[in-house]
Amino acid sequence: MKFQVLHKDGLARYGILNLGEVSIETPVFMPVGTYGCVKGVSSEDLQKIGIRLILGNAFHLYFRPGENIINSFGNLHNFMNWNGKILTDSGGYQIFSLSNFCKVLEKGVNFKNPENGNLLFLTPEKSIDIQHFLQSDIVMCFDECISYPNSWDKVKTSVERSLRWAKRSKKQFNKKNNKNMLFGIIQGGMFKDLRYFSIYEMLKIGFDGYALGGFAVGEPKKIMYSLIEKISLKLPEKKPRYLMGVGKPIDIVEAVSKGIDMFDCVIPTRNARNGFLFTKKEIIRIRNSKYKSDHLSLDSECTCYTCKNYSRAYLHHLDKSNETLGIRLNTIHNISYYSTLMNDLRQSIKKNELKKFIKNFYY
């Protein structure tokens, strides 16, 4: 498994991430399949779109369906009939998203499942063990994702704890004789000095790739973009860079221009379920009455299954009728939009035309 940067346009990079028999072109977007399923679509749908790498969540998969069920199928790939690759989040984000249901200690985090009350004491070692039985292709070290805004002192305490957990994560990962990749996570909130401190210490530990955590938690976009660029410039040139939980198309375009290689976010699937559909010209709110008799496809430039076969009027009808087919068709389109966006970004980097692409994207 290795990563190669094949071409650069400014800070933007076109590369290849080799994961065994599957090669992933970067920049790449990973649809989110928290419970081993990208909401609204099948594994076959994703394969037809051209998706080869998705994200799962170790925390949630541990609770449901659980270790015994997945082990009986061999791994998560077999369980969900997925012949692509999987990156799993370690559970660190749940410290932020489930802050009312957890208590952070030095050894690990006490979680209470908000759905059924089940308890889990998640440590760096336990997180790695869960990702091992899932047989993730890319494993994330366990970290603490802290809220924004927060004080410098609290963020510093959190960063130092995440660094100690990162060392424990790598030690446990090495015990497993894994043939997959382990990514470290850079934290530090919106404080440049703490981000630099995190980078310096994480590089000393050494990882196969580096993720930028703790973004898209309510901070102003200007601060996020500025920090992403500063962090990218400090990271190794020959290692993949992953911006966690981001984002909107405009955020992806900006982050690619600043040197980021990998992305994930629930936005394309969540927006699809709520009738917000991306096109190259606009966001279509398919629930609006003006689409009731619209014979056009969602996007005349899109070649996805939905756009080739169904009208806006039909999608509007499905949404108004609460038909689940509408969710599937909407999701296929939104994921296809993201897939096309990433391909367009890759091609523009290879041709040294990224600035032109960004200008056209905005205007």
Q: Which residues are catalytic?
A: 89, 264
CA distances from 253 to 99, 130, 132, 200, 271 (A): 31, 33, 33, 27, 19
The type of residue at 71 is N
The type of residue at 58 is A
Q: Is 234 exposed, middle or buried (0-12, 13-18, 19+ CB in 10 A)?
A: middle
CB atoms within 10 A of CB 272: 27
CA 54 to CA 44: how far, in whole Å? 13
Peptide bond before residue 220 is cis, with ω within 30 degrees of 0: no
CA 149 to CA 137: how far, in whole Å? 33
CA 286 to CA 271: how far, in whole Å? 11
For residue 138, which of 182, 169, 174, 172 has the smallest C-alpha distance?
182
CA 69 to CA 156: how far, in whole Å? 39
Provide the 8-state DSSP code for 241: E
Provide the 8-state DSSP code for 289: G
